[in-house]
Amino acid sequence: MHLNEGYSYLEHLDTKARGHTVLSYLERYFTHSTKEMWLERLQRGEILLDNKVARGDEVLQASQTLVWNRPPWHEEDAPQTFEILYQDETILVVDKPSGLPTLPGGGFLDNTLFSFVRREFSTAQPLHRLGRGTSGLVVFSLTSEAARDLSKRWRNHKVEKHYRALASGVAAQNEYKIDAPIGLVKHSKLGEVYAASENGKASSSLAQVLEKRDRATLFTIQIFTGRPHQIRIHLAFIGHPLEGDKLYGMGGKPLEDAALPGEGGYLLHAERLKFIHPVTGEWLELWAEPPAELKCKSES
């Protein structure tokens, strides 16, 4: 376990804060903690309103600032290595191991890919993220110009993205075009979570069978949009949830006893990326070797 140095969470209040007290606002919009937990933090003087220690009963107004000075906490252990696959003066591409969060969140601050990369490359900014349990390619910009160029390409779906995944059940088809919309849905345990939803945003994936196994199927998946948990949701939507996934079940819906989205247990790997280099204008194709469990017998 790693003890970090703590962190200050800053919230610039807008019109949604009107009518709330400090306590009711924290309870309403930061549901990862209970009312009792926020009361304890207020009593310890951890919450500031406009740089003054808050009592909790102050009535909020738009344009105020609210800060939680979270004391140091022990972070869960995570892999602390990554492999550099490509590097020049403008971009960096690394192979992230499964179990390492890309960005701070979910109880992680220091034990993240972002933190480890920043120790070696002070200007690095991730252009996308992989879920904690997902391994494979992550692209960082090293200059503001590269960040603007590649961020625009990501938004406009000008980056080819290919993954491998091991899913439960033996596929009846060799190819699936999946267009189930993805959006937030209510969940009794998690509050809200992304899932297949008629009211969600348009999402598109192409899943192709690489290998059929006794009770599972190895897929290669190309995603044409970048919705949260898209591959996990889309494969579950067609009746093939990822092996070991504790969040999504049949139909792309969250399980009743679902684990937190960041928990692993599944096998998903970002294998290939293809995009135009922001400086040279040439196509750059990158590949990260999949783990042994995601290789076909012919590749072993």
Residue 237 neighbours by CB under 8 Å, 6+ apart: 178, 180, 196, 251, 252
Do the beta carbons of residue 284 and residue 277 sit within 8 Å? Answer: yes
Euclidean distance between CA atoms 264 and 285, whole angstroms:
28
Give the residues across from 211 on adjacent strands.
218
Please give the structure tokens belonging to residue 268: 């998903």
Selected from 3.60.20.30, 3.40.640.10, 3.40.50.460, 3.10.290.10, the CATH number assigned to the domain covering 2-74 reads 3.10.290.10
Environment class of 274 (CB within 10 Å of its CB; exposed 0-12, middle 13-18, buried 19+): middle
Q: Could you tell me the sign of the dihedral formed by the alpha carbons of 96, 100, 106, 107, in that order?
A: negative
CB 125 within 8 A of CB 139: no
Could you tell me the pTM of the whole model? 0.88
Q: Is 287 helix (H, G, I), strand (E, B) or coil?
A: strand
- The stretches in the chain having pLDDT less than 70 are 259-262, 300
pLDDT of residue 256: 83
What's the confidence (pLDDT) of residue 50? 97
At 31 the pLDDT is 80
Sign of the torsion angle spanned by Cα atoms 15, 17, 20, 22: negative
Report the pLDDT value the prediction gives residue 300, as an integer from 0 to 100: 67
User: What backbone phi and psi angles, to 5 degrees, belong to 253?
Assistant: -100, 150
Is the separation of the CB atoms in 91 and 140 below 8 Å?
A: yes
**pLDDT attached to residue 271:** 98
Local structure of 119: helix, strand or coil:
helix
Q: How do 65-70 and 47-49 pair as beta strands?
A: antiparallel
Q: Which of 280, 12, 278 is nearest to 147 (CA)?
A: 278
Q: Boundaries of CATH 3.30.2350.10 in the chain?
A: 161-266
Pick the CATH number of 161-266 from 3.30.2350.10, 3.40.960.10, 1.10.3720.10, 3.20.20.140: 3.30.2350.10
- Delimiting residues of CATH 3.10.290.10 domain(s) in the chain: 2-74
Residue 241: exposure state from Cβ atoms within 10 A (0-12, 13-18, ≥19) = buried
Question: For residue 127, what are the β-bridge partners?
Answer: none
Give DSSP secondary structure letters for 187-235: ETTTEEEEEE-TTSB---EEEEEEEE-SSEEEEEEEESS--TTHHHHHH
Q: Which secondary structure element, helix H or strand E, spans residue 40, and what is its range?
A: helix 35-43
H and E: helices and strands count for the chain: 5, 20
Q: List CB contacts of 155: < 8 A, sequence separation 6 or more.
A: none
* Identity of residue 120: E
Torsion over CA: 235, 239, 244, 246 (sign): positive
